[in-house]
Amino acid sequence: MVVVMAPEATAAEVEAVVGLVRSVSGQAFVSRGLSRTIVGLVGDVTDFEALNLGSLAGVLQVIRVSVPYKLVSREHHPARSQIRVGGVPIGPGTLTVIAGPCAVESPEQTLEAARMAKSAGASMLRGGAFKPRTSPYAYQGLGEQGLRILADVRAETGLAVVTEVVDPAGVDVVAKYADMLQVGARNMQNFALLQAVGSAGKPVLLKRGFSATIDEWLSAAEYIAQRGNLNIVLCERGIRTFETATRNTLDISAVPVAQRLSHLPVIVDPSHSGGRRDLVVPLARAAIAVGADGLLIDVHPNPKSALCDGDQALPESDIREIADVAASLSTLMGRTLAAPSGEFGQVAAGVSR
Ligand code: PEP
Ligand code: MN
């Protein structure tokens, strides 16, 4: 923290600041410039905030230098973290592809989408059983029945499962079936939910809210970390801008910015970002090239009949291309494409990767 004194501040006023800082065991470093004096503080920011230094006579401004999140920051933990979902790594050195349908609709559709995901190079399966829809009349998901389908498909394919939880009351049931809990864009600042997933003992995929700054996103991750869970993956999924040609605007710079500020892995969802099938492969290329640790991709055996987000789902005919992009660009970026761990059942024979 830095306290900027007003140009007319007296020596006694500077001393008052120094005295208060020392009273809470902080250190105060006074720098006297030509026109003003600043006091640099070292110590516990929470203690300094309680002093309300901004209200003291002669104080012009109090500037917080350290970030408002600690546990997820690189100040706290300089090396970038790798997390594991079952046996699947996500983080530096690896590119982890997660793919599947937007929503679980039936056992057949989910199994077929999982086979497509695997062919696309995925090591994890995504799919919503509880869907946070903008309209209450839109498809809301199969609930627990959908979770059971995901668990069956995991056993059949060996793919670890990530699925969304939409409220604190749903955390236990989702954690019972899933390997990773997804907090969606609409719930990024549902603080009770963040605390509940932080206590659930499962890795968390935290999507960026479509109107959230990177600071707000990392502060949301801090809520989860505070509960003792540092197995968090951040997911950039596009933000709301004035542009209407795409569903959201993929904030590609958020990837290196978040990776510089936080040690947590950062992946990109090119499907929800553009909202358009034709943009998924180009945005996936951009994501890998900018250094993303993974991709989250919607695939569907029959996008025209999809109950949710069919416009952005990749059909079978696009799977080869996404697989080629993931394989070739991960190599170019010095990353290994994560493979299914096989920990969750047999890795199905005859499914090409
Ligand atoms: C999803 O991944 O299915 C989803 C609802 O995404 P978002 O929260 O990013 O809109
Ligand atoms: Mn969706």
In a shared domain, residues 235 and 329: yes
State the closest ligand 1 atom to the C-alpha of 208, by its place in the atom list counted from 1. 9
For residue 103, the ligand 1 atom closest to its alpha carbon is 3
| Residue 141 sits in the same domain as residue 252 | yes
Question: Are residues 201 and 336 part of one domain?
Answer: yes
Q: Is the pLDDT of residue 353 over 80?
A: no
Please check whether residues 223 and 314 belong to one and the same domain: yes
User: What whole-number distance in Å separates Cα of residue 50 and Cα of residue 174?
Assistant: 39
| From 41-55, 97-111, 203-217, the region with the lowest mean pLDDT | 41-55
Same domain, 186 and 327: yes
Whether residue 72 is contained in a domain is answered as: no
In terms of domains, do 59 and 91 share one?
no
CA distance 277 to 314: 6
Whether 73 is in a domain gets the answer no
Return the best residue to mutate from 140, 207, 208 for the ligand 1 pocket (most ligand atoms within 8 A of CB).
207
* Domain range for 13: 2-63
Nearest CA to ligand 1 atom 5: 184
Tokens at residue 35, please? 């026109």
Asked whether residue 143 falls in the same domain as residue 24, the answer is no
Q: Is the domain of 163 the same as that of 25?
A: no
Mutate which of 98, 102, 246, 297 for ligand 1 pocket (most atoms within 8 A of beta carbon): 102
Is the model's pLDDT at 187 over the cut of 90? yes
205 CA to centre of ligand 2 in angstroms? 15
- Tell me, yes or no, whether 133 lies in a domain: yes
In angstroms, how far apart are the furthest CA atoms of the chain?
A: 80
Q: Which domain CATH number covers 14?
A: 3.30.70.1140
Task: Identify residue 210 by its one-letter amino acid code.
Answer: F
Which ligand lies nearest the alpha carbon of 210? 1
Q: Are residues 23 and 51 in the same domain?
A: yes
- Judge contact between 338 and 94, C-beta under 8 A: yes
State how far the Cα of 196 lies from the Cα of 190, in Å rounded to an integer: 10
- Asked if pLDDT for residue 351 goes beyond 60, the answer is no
pLDDT band at 88; cut points 50, 70, 90? very high
Q: Does some domain include residue 70?
A: no
For residue 6, is pLDDT > 70? Answer: yes
Q: Which tokens belong to 237?
A: 């999924």
Query: Of the candidates 262, 272, 353, 350, which has an alpha carbon nearest to the alpha carbon of residue 313?
Result: 272
| Counted domains in the chain | 2
Question: Percentages helix, strand, coil for the chain, rounded to the nearest 5?
Answer: 40, 20, 40
Q: 304: exposed, middle or buried (C-beta count within 10 Å: 0-12, 13-18, 19+)?
A: exposed
Residue listed under structure tokens 């596009």 = 238
Can you give the pTM of this predicted structure? 0.87
Each residue of 295-347: pLDDT tens digit?
Answer: 999 999 999 999 999 999 999 999 999 999 999 999 999 999 999 987 877 55
Q: Is 352 a residue whose pLDDT tops 60?
A: no
Pocket flag, ligand 1, residue 184 (CB < 6 Å) = yes
Does any domain span residue 109? yes
DSSP 8-state class, residue 252: T
Answer whether residue 75 is part of any domain: no
211 within domain boundaries: yes
pLDDT of residue 26 exceeding 80, the answer is: yes
What's the pLDDT at 346? 58
Kindly state if the Cβ of 270 falls inside 6 Å of ligand 1: no
Burial class (CB in 10 A: 0-12, 13-18, 19+), 350: exposed
Q: Are both 309 and 238 inside the same structural domain?
A: yes
Co-location of 178 and 308 in the same domain: yes
Q: Does 264 map to a domain?
A: yes
CATH of the domain at 112: 3.20.20.70
Structure tokens at 313: 């789902």
Atom of ligand 1 nearest to the CA of 131: 5
Closest CA to 93 of 287, 331, 336: 336
Nearest CA to ligand 1 atom 6: 184
| Range 65-88 average pLDDT | 91
Percent of the chain residues past pLDDT 70, beyond the cut: 97
Q: 267 and 207, same structural domain?
A: yes
